[in-house]
Amino acid sequence: MGWSREGLRAMAELRAYLSSGGKISLKHLKQEPKKSYSLEKAMALKVSNTFTRTREQLNNVPILSKGKVIPMFKCLKDMHNGTSNL
């Protein structure tokens, strides 16, 4: 019998709550789960799309597509990769 990721996460949260001194009652178990996960998922998707669009704009630099290695190419390539070798 296997565990789902959601079940493992719920058990881990329950163990952490109990070890912190929390008390579990029947009303806790019958409570509806919070819907904040879908909001976090939507926010993560929005950030991912923004990051992808930004990388696509950086890929449209002609000097980077030609591949000719000059000092400006190295500088722009480092900016594109998010590194800095100054």
| Residue 74, token pair as written in the block | 């190295």
Quote the pTM value: 0.31
User: Over the stretch 44-81, which tens digit does the pLDDT of each residue have?
Assistant: 888 888 888 776 666 676 776 776 778 877 787 787 77
pLDDT tens digits, residue range 4-21? 888 888 889 889 988 999
DSSP characters over the chain: ----HHHHHHHHHHHHHHHTT----HHHHTSPPPSHHHHHHHHHHHHHHHHHHHHHHHTT-HHHHH----HHHHHHHHHHHT----
